[in-house]
Amino acid sequence: MQHPQIANSWEAVLSEEFDKTYFRKLFNFLLEEQQSHTIYPPEEDIFAAFKLTPYEKVNVLLLGQDPYHNHNQAHGLCFSVRPDIKPPPSLVNIFKELKDDIGLDIPNNGYLISWAKQGILMLNTVLTVRAHAPNSHKNRGWETFTDAVISKVNQKTHPVIFVLWGGYAQKKLKLIDVKQHIVVQSAHPSPLSARNGFFGSKPFSSINSALRSFGKPEIDWQIPDL
């Protein structure tokens, strides 16, 4: 595993994190894991969210939790799967709400890269996982790193929309200046909680309405069929 290179404006924003003790410990843990286990997403995709959405382009931060842990699913964007992978249940529910909220067609894939390219930082709080072992890289240092990311986005001078689905994401409210930024929150889209407040929450029209009010371009939420 190579030392992280994000290779755009995030490099300067986050460079001090890479030199901190916690990150060195995290990096050493990942090196050890790599010796005896498969890790998802692949090394080149761990920082994909940052590569696709440079710091100055972030208008929305969508927060997920743990990468998908089955073969070939995760590619570094929260909730998104690779083009040839069946959308998992939470993503199916996201598409249902998208259709109900703004009437878009449900796509034949769960590859959300077009959202990231439009200024949505699609951040998981933990950026790696051991194959077939959910939450296996929890409490190893990633949360410290991604809290730093949230704090850096919070420091932006123009308003950003933070999208927090579920109790775990909503714990990050303490990092967000709600006078400066907009928070869109509801239950999580997972099958366990979607009926308790995610369905009907209309997050996509809310985000576009807020972007419009800031004079920012709205998101084209339609995922193209592949």
Catalytic residues: 66
Q: Are 84 and 73 in contact (CB under 8 A)?
A: no
Neighbour tally for 217: CB within 10 Å: 12
DSSP letter string over the chain? -PPP---SHHHHHHHHHHTSHHHHHHHHHHHHHHHHS-EES-GGGTTHHHHHS-GGG-SEEEEE-S---STTT--SSTT---TTSPPPHHHHHHHHHHHHHH-PPPPS----HHHHTTTEEEEESS--EETTBTTTTTTSSHHHHHHHHHHHHHT-SS--EEEEESHHHHGGGGGS-TTTSEEEEES-SSTTTGGGTTTT--HHHHHHHHHHHTTPPPP--PPPP-
